[in-house]
Structure 1
Amino acid sequence: MQNKGLVKFFAIIFALVSIYQLSFTFVTNHYEDKAKAFAGGDSTKELQYLDSIGNQTVFLGQTFNEVRAKQINKGLDLEGGINVTLQISIKDILKGLANNSKNATFNKALAEAESQRQGNQSYLDAFYTAFDKESKGNVKLASADIFANRNLSEITVGMSDSQVKAILDKKVKESIESAYRVFRERIDKFGVSQPNIQMLGDTGRILVELPGAKDVDRIKNLLQSTAQLEFWETYKVDEIGNYIMAANEYLKTTEKQPAQNAQAAKTENKANSDVEALLGTVAKDSMGNTANKEFNPLLDLFAMGGQQGSPILGYFQTKDTVKVNAYLNRADVRNLLPADQKYARFAWGKPSKKAPDLVELYALKTNREGIPPLSGSVVTSAQDEYDQFSRPVVGMTMSPKGAKIWEELTGKAYTENSNIAIVLDNIVYSAPGVTSGPISGGRSSISGDFTVADAKDLANILRAGKLPAGADIVQSEIVGPSLGQQAIDAGMLSAVAGLIIVAAWMAFYYGRAGWYANVALLANLLFLFGILASLGAVLTLPGIAGIVLTMGTAVDANIIISERAKECLRKGMNLADTIKESYSWHGAMRPIVDANVTHILTGVILFAFGSGPIKGFATTLLIGIATSLFTSIFIARIFMDRDVKAGRSLAFCTGITKNWFTNFHFDFLKVKKFTYGLSLIIVVVSFASFFVNGFDQGTDFVGGRTFQVKFDKEVTANEVSDKLGEVFGVNVEAKVFGNKQQLKLTTKYKVEEEGAAVDQEVNEKLYEGLKGYYSSPMTYEQFVNATEGKTLGVIQASKVGPSMAKDVKQNAYWAVLGSMAAIFVYLVISFRKWQYSLGAIVSVAHDVIFVLGIYSLTYKFMPWHMEIDQHFIAAILTVIGYSMNDTVIVFDRVREYIAGKTKGDFNKIVNDSVNTTLSRTINTSLTLILVLLIMFVFGGDSIRGFIFAMLIGIIVGTYSSLFLATPVLVDTMPRKDKEEIERRHKEAQEELIAEKA
């Protein structure tokens, strides 16, 4: 090895840097453990403790905050917390840029883009396609009633569509970046340690990861609020009441009276009790008189009517708001409004903490343009504070222009004895009257039924500013901290067990050379974790699986080198020449490089098409490949060269294993008809199962909501499924997850509807349906929110919207096909003959179909989950990488033997070459299978299906490399090429005989 001193120097420096980078993680863990001990389970006290030491110097002259920023970040599956993917509405941005244009072509193109978007096509590109189709060249984007408006000075009438598109691309990108900054500021003020916020390419999606976050509903409200603050005058009951009565009378003529039942009576009693809780009375005026037996379509929905002189028109149950909206927004019903009220807008209040099932109805005095007299753009600062009664409120300061308008608006309200509604994101937070004259100076406050946290969040939102467009949560995942700790324990146990098994086998099989490989493996792990820490990479449970898998593949290069060395020693080479030959390009280096390039291609495609935990798996896999190559090629050789220098012998085996897996003479080509037939049966049965049984597709692929719920006693999945089906009104699938005290619940209930209110409704229904299955009472907050040490209730939840599921599925297809195509091209370039690539691709396709077939055939009765999701795709791509790796090692030896001087016909040459790789194939497969078995047993329920796919894939991949790829290569090789190879080998043998003679 050239420049041994330089290699040693870099190895030592690399090791020291890795230890330095990892030291920050150990120091951070030390102080976080102290914080937990101090807090005694109180998460608020824990955060306060960590905040108090944030600026204290704790390590190497650096503060705790600086040290914590350099530790290895743990993903949500290890730390617990909340992960959401937000979709910024490009449609809303375009409507805003077009000044809410009423142009028919423009609006039809917006609708078409939403419904006809293809695969990973961006909404903006879909809009351009739809607009070109709808306009047919007759309508231009730069029309005065579309984008050439006063809000968009960069675009003028007469510009070409291509010029306008360039400007729109820029504007949309700026809007998404603006949204990103707003989210960043909101989250930074929330107090979560190490939040991760990133834009996902140009998709308009923003990923937000909040490790340790616990209050689910609060986080979702914080993220989805657009902060569209408006101030409107309101109508009072006595002003709008006649319209309500007229609307009710009209609806009597158009609506059918529903059948009365016992459930309706229960609902009414519930409404009465909620009103009592809210107002302490059940007094009702004519608009809320439920004693009247006559059918009143609108009035019957009132839980209670508003009082004379009040801006609150009445109280309604939350479930009835959709029907009320439908009635009041109908064109024929709105025609009943008096001329001076025709622009009235109905808006709902914020649900009360005392009666969360009830909500207030208001009527706002809007205008033709729908532009409020005062908006949130005038607010210059906001802070949470307390009013004179010590109730939490949000204080606001306005700009001079806003202060003047506010003074005029409050002056008018005072004179007319009216109210001003403070509306945030179309929700009325409060509608106070003005009792002491115009308010000057621009100081005001928002009051409501706030907790301290509510007031803090609202002030935070107003300070950060409004979003340029709506943001919908298209994917979310919530992981409780106790589940995260279980994942850490399971991952560490499987990693340590895997390391011990691999190290023990290498030492047992290869003797001292195996110990050198183990030292290289330990160095590999040190370098791997050091790089993860220095890059600020996020460690996830699949990432740990990637590390454990790296341990299995890391020794592969050492196995290839050791097997080559044994062959050289058998030929009579001395140790120095043996080591030199083994590490040469014509020795072990070429197959090692070819095998690892196929792995790298798979990892790159995984990283490009995966998301979240899959990127973590790909990251550790790619880094592990790089570090294992370095340690296998350089670290292990340093010790071997020392043996040569010291004159010590090195056998690359032990007395027991000396003749293991040697002198194989199996005819792989002779049994090809049998293996072809077996593989054909496998493929046919698998495809039949695809059509008959289908797959257990996870929510990643089909969309839906998933909850992992822990009970304090055993429950029956079917019973829970039936109960939740009654509560939700749609099917809720329940499966045992790990043991009968834990269920995985999946439903498509309102998965297409976005908004924090919908998510909260789902959580509340889930709580109502499941609270009876607990021995001890559990509150809604205890059931839903993640708390330290939590072991019951919702310990993990996820949601994937239909658009996100469609993109995930599309990415999965491209990832699998792309990896196979990339490897096919690489093998054509490396081996110079397409027959090698074809043999490898047939082998890999067979393996993928086999694994899919196993999942399709057995998912209904296996005791663990076998869902087809992103984790499964990661497993499939890993199988592709391994199968290619194994096949490439075999093909490299075939190529070597074809180019050499082996005697015999073409089939014998190929058989001999395959037999000589069996020792390597068995050893590598065996170490990987043992590691995966350990992970399968100890790795935890959440990754068992993921590991099972890899385990089956490794086994079938070993079979296909030997019994399928090689026969395909032989059968597709042109006859003239075979004859040429046989002729050349015959001549070489005759020359050898002549030389000996």
Structure 2
Amino acid sequence: MLYFSRWKTILIWAVVALGVILSLPNILPQSTLDSLPGWAPKRTMTLGLDLQGGSHILLAVDRQDLVNERLNATRDDIRTLLRDARIGYTGLTGTGRSVQVRVRDAADAEKARTALAPLTQPVSSGVLGNAITELSLGEPEPGLLRFTLTDEGVNYRVNSAVTQSIEVIGRRVNELGTTEPVIQRSGADRILVQVPGLEDPQRLKEILGQTAKLTFQMVDQSVPVQEAINGRPPAGSTVMYSTDDPPVPYLIENRIIVSGENLVDAQATFNQQTSEPVVSFRFDARGAGRFGQATQQNVGRLFAIVLDNQVISAPRINEPIIGGSGQISGNFTTQSANDLAVLLRAGALPADLTIVEERTVGPSLGADSIAAGKLASLVGAALVVGCMLLVYGKLGLIANLALAANVALIIAVLTMLGATLTLPGIAGIVLTMGMAVDSNVIIFERVREERNQGRSMVQSFDGGFQRALATVVDANFTTLIIAVILFYMGTGPVRGFAVTLGIGIVTTVFTAFTLTRWLVAVWFRKWRPLEFPKGLVQYLPLNPRIPFMRYRNYGFALSGFASIAVVGLLFVSDFNYGIDFKGGSLIEMQSRDHVSKPGEVRDRLGGLNLGEVQVQAFGEQGELMVRVPTQEGGDNAEQTVVDKVRMELSDDFDFRRIEVVGPTVSGELAWTGTIGITLSMLALLVYIWFRFEWQFGLGAVISTAHDVIIIVGVYVVLGLEFNLSSIAAILTVIGYSINDTVVIYDRIRETLRKYKKMPIDEVINISLNQTLSRTILTGLTVLLALIALYFFGGEVISSFVFAIIVGVFVGTYSSLFIAGPLLILFKLRPDMFENEKSTAIAATAQPSGS
């Protein structure tokens, strides 16, 4: 085990060197990177929105809007087709998802079905070659034809709308001059837009929120508009309002002269006579012809330029406009004129898009998060490194060198994958530093045991690495399962945490059994030690005599009482749900005079009819956290809240972070979180059952469920906000607790093989004592890393880290007093491992030296 061939040595150090080279650009200043030759690696990790600022917006296509639009089009098609076929009809109406028409003469029914047959033709072939029919025809009674939108047809329209919307949004966002935006489909009817480094998130929302359906229509001057408002508009006309303040009503003919589809260009310019901002436009040949003909026939009349059913302007036609170009004037500012030009150039969206989730971080808060993450990382690394040096001496130095290589490999992999580094991702790296030394601790404690049994130092290290392999793999694989589930159920920053944690697990196992072992081999060849290096670890006895099993009933009673109390508490006290799970808005602001004013802000927002607004001061620079409950008007009402708060407070406060979660998304996130925890339990049960016995799997799941219940109780008792980060914290605690439990279970299985006649309670007690030093040391290093994160990582992740800190204590307790003793209740027997004993003895007897 301590011999390495030359090619293995070269391969190990090639991997480490490659990791260092690829990670190095992340700590070099940009000026240095620019001066490097072209062949040198310069790629750096992509910073998440919480570290560099920007916007994360989730848009949903309005399915009902598409249904209504398709029903209107169907009515028009039926009207046209029946008129062209000279078939009399009546009762052309639409309700729900159906349009029906009655043929006046029953003898024309067959002729009508033939004329309307194109409406039921397939619009596309499905994925498996099945034709998709958008409308189905039914005849409830003779002469009554009913066309109903099919589910397949609606899904086809939604899918097409999403695809087209992605293209339109991409053109709009690119017009803003942003760098590396992310625009992609999310689910069946949603679009995710992420724009990093955006200085004005509000402008992005305004650009994305407009459908931008531009039409040129005539103004109906046959009756006064007020008469149409008070009575009933003439047939074929609709009352629309202008964008002025106050809005001006116009009576607009429904007939569209030219639409925005005929535009080929639009630019923000200035009127040469008034110097006011205007938008110049140019039609294609077809649009220019239709527009010229309409203006030629309607000289002296008003025509309206309508954008999303609002009148931008309604100028008079003084003379025919036959050049195919013109200007749109209104109460424009330079930016609003430019934004309108952007919308017109990009084209109209095929359907209304609703913002169902928004997470915006200002650049100043992103800079603060980077500074906090760097400080927390440095402090956490210093504490872990110092702890290992004090505990293991020279071996601690070896573990720290492996840890440094481990961190470099994590950063290198993140860089190569193009993964996004978030603040929770930094937390994942810091937590990995604490957990990474666990593998070395397991190995070193095995070496101590081997040495204590009288073996030579070479034999002790050889046997220590060999015996620790299965334990380290099992312990880390269970944590990897949690990281994978966390990635698939999480969103945004939570995924960043899962990615770094998962990569860290893989690199930890690699460095522990390659680099650490190679460094130990070199140390042996050069210094030829005769004894285990001295450190504080020598004060931890290898075989303490703590009677854990004597107190197991007390542990069961205490845990049972605490669990029942938490469950009972849930019936009388609810969670302090964050906006992730109940919807609403969270706004972090900073006073421009750096003076905290929660009372004043609460009073100013009280008159906006937003419900029970919470205003909380934190930090020392006039920072406030405003929480607004979910609104009754649905997803669109949530966006109105932010606009109202911004209008009220923008003169006195800088908006550093905005999170808006609509009721649609909040319900989905709550369900996803529940599924994530349930799946993690099932996955761990299956894996441990497969690797050990069913008693071990059930014991691990019960003890882990106990940990989850206690953590939930901490959230309820302390009133901590329960959000997506809380789910991530619970899953992290599950991973840590299972890691601890698997190490103990592995030792119990080994002891059962060794002492077949020993009573099970004594076997478990011996195993708990033999792994106690590892449990203490691993818990200590993880806590040191977490404490650094809690005090220096910033407000954003403090509650997340606090829950994990509590979870480390609870997980350690449950591993000792719940997971192990449960095996007695499940009638675990030593003879279960009888078939494995001969294999284990043969493996032990094999000479080392690979």
Scaled to the shorter chain, the TM-score interval is 0.7 to 0.9
1:346 aligns with 2:346: no
1:583 aligns with 2:461: no
AA at the equivalent of 1:87: A
The Cα offsets for residues 479-536 of structure 1, whole Å up to 9 and x where unpaired, read as 1222112211111111111101111111111111111111111111111111111111
Q: Is the 8 Å Cα contact of residues 123 and 132 (structure 2) preserved in structure 1?
A: no
Tell me which moved more, 844-853 or 708-717: 708-717
1:466 aligns with 2:326: no
Residue in structure 2 matched with residue 268 of structure 1 by the alignment: none
Residue in structure 2 matched with residue 735 of structure 1 by the alignment: 616
Residue in structure 2 matched with residue 277 of structure 1 by the alignment: none
Residue in structure 2 matched with residue 960 of structure 1 by the alignment: 814
AA at the equivalent of 2:317: V
1:626 aligns with 2:519: no
Deviation of the 1:230 alpha carbon: 1.1
Deviation of the 1:150 alpha carbon: 9.7
Q: What does 1:583-982 correspond to in 2, within 5 Å? A: 583-584=465-466, 587-646=467-526, 648-649=528-529, 651-711=531-591, 712=593, 714-715=595-596, 717=598, 720-728=601-609, 730-739=611-620, 741-748=622-629, 750=631, 752-754=633-635, 759=639, 762-768=642-648, 770=649, 780=650, 792-831=653-692, 833-859=693-719, 866-901=720-755, 904-973=758-827, 977=829
Q: Percent identity?
A: 34
Q: What does 1:192-231 correspond to in 2, within 5 Å? A: 192-200=178-186, 202-231=187-216
Tell me which moved more, 840-849 or 215-224: 215-224
Q: Is the 8 Å Cα contact of residues 547 and 620 (structure 1) preserved in structure 2?
A: yes
1:189 to 175, 189, 193: 175
- Alignment partners' CA distance in 1, 2:586 and 2:157: 36
Q: Is the 8 Å Cα contact of residues 562 and 652 (structure 1) preserved in structure 2?
A: no
- Alignment partners' CA distance in 1, 2:585 and 2:381: 37
AA at the equivalent of 1:428: V
1:79 aligns with 2:52: yes
Shift of the 489–347 alpha-carbon distance from structure 1 to 2, 3 Å rule, reads same
- Alignment partners' CA distance in 1, 2:183 and 2:541: 52
Deviation of the 1:695 alpha carbon: 1.0
Shift of the 876–520 alpha-carbon distance from structure 1 to 2, 3 Å rule, reads same
Deviation of the 1:678 alpha carbon: 0.6
Q: Is the 8 Å Cα contact of residues 512 and 652 (structure 1) preserved in structure 2?
A: no
- Alignment partners' CA distance in 2, 1:58 and 1:171: 52
TM-score, normalising length from structure 2?
A: 0.86
Structure 1: which 5+ runs fail to align? 33-56, 111-141, 248-332, 352-356, 771-779, 784-791, 860-865, 990-997
- Residue 567 of structure 1 aligns to a residue whose secondary structure is helix
AA at the equivalent of 2:813: Y
1:397 to 274, 282, 299: 282
The Cα offsets for residues 332-388 of structure 1, whole Å up to 9 and x where unpaired, read as x53xx4xxx23322223224xxxxx53333221115xxxx22211111222222331
AA at the equivalent of 2:590: K
1:430 aligns with 2:313: yes
Shift of the 441–652 alpha-carbon distance from structure 1 to 2, 3 Å rule, reads farther
- Alignment partners' CA distance in 1, 2:222 and 2:363: 49
1:561 to 431, 437, 443: 443
- Residue 550 of structure 2 aligns to a residue whose secondary structure is coil
Tell me which moved more, 382-391 or 952-961: 382-391
AA at the equivalent of 1:637: R
TM-score, normalising length from structure 1?
A: 0.74
**Aligned positions, number:** 793
- Residue 396 of structure 1 aligns to a residue whose secondary structure is strand
- Alignment partners' CA distance in 2, 1:556 and 1:894: 19
Deviation of the 1:983 alpha carbon: 14
AA at the equivalent of 2:748: V
- Alignment partners' CA distance in 2, 1:830 and 1:696: 39
Q: What does 1:149-548 correspond to in 2, within 5 Å? A: 169=155, 172-200=158-186, 202-236=187-221, 239-244=224-229, 247=230, 333-334=231-232, 337=233, 341-351=234-244, 358-366=246-254, 372-388=256-272, 389-414=274-299, 417-435=300-318, 437-548=319-430
The Cα offsets for residues 696-716 of structure 1, whole Å up to 9 and x where unpaired, read as 100000000111122336556
Shift of the 678–624 alpha-carbon distance from structure 1 to 2, 3 Å rule, reads same
- Alignment partners' CA distance in 2, 1:491 and 1:751: 38
- Alignment partners' CA distance in 1, 2:389 and 2:662: 50
- Alignment partners' CA distance in 2, 1:404 and 1:704: 50
The Cα offsets for residues 664-721 of structure 1, whole Å up to 9 and x where unpaired, read as 1112221111111111121122122222221110000000011112233655645643
- Alignment partners' CA distance in 1, 2:169 and 2:67: 20
AA at the equivalent of 1:196: V
- Residue 674 of structure 2 aligns to a residue whose secondary structure is helix
AA at the equivalent of 2:120: A
AA at the equivalent of 1:224: G
- Alignment partners' CA distance in 1, 2:123 and 2:248: 35
Shift of the 379–984 alpha-carbon distance from structure 1 to 2, 3 Å rule, reads closer
- Alignment partners' CA distance in 2, 1:75 and 1:983: 52
Structure with greater proportional strand content: 2
- Residue 583 of structure 1 aligns to a residue whose secondary structure is helix
- Residue 669 of structure 1 aligns to a residue whose secondary structure is helix
- Residue 484 of structure 1 aligns to a residue whose secondary structure is helix
- Alignment partners' CA distance in 2, 1:889 and 1:538: 32
AA at the equivalent of 2:290: I
- Alignment partners' CA distance in 1, 2:714 and 2:512: 35
Q: Is the 8 Å Cα contact of residues 75 and 540 (structure 1) preserved in structure 2?
A: yes
The Cα offsets for residues 710-736 of structure 1, whole Å up to 9 and x where unpaired, read as 233655645643442223352212223
Deviation of the 1:819 alpha carbon: 0.7
Shift of the 95–803 alpha-carbon distance from structure 1 to 2, 3 Å rule, reads same
Deviation of the 1:753 alpha carbon: 4.5
State the superposition RMSD in angstroms.
3.4
Q: Is the 8 Å Cα contact of residues 419 and 433 (structure 1) preserved in structure 2?
A: yes
- Alignment partners' CA distance in 2, 1:826 and 1:895: 16
Q: What does 1:82-93 correspond to in 2, within 5 Å? A: 82-93=55-66
Q: Is the 8 Å Cα contact of residues 595 and 886 (structure 1) preserved in structure 2?
A: yes
1:552 aligns with 2:529: no
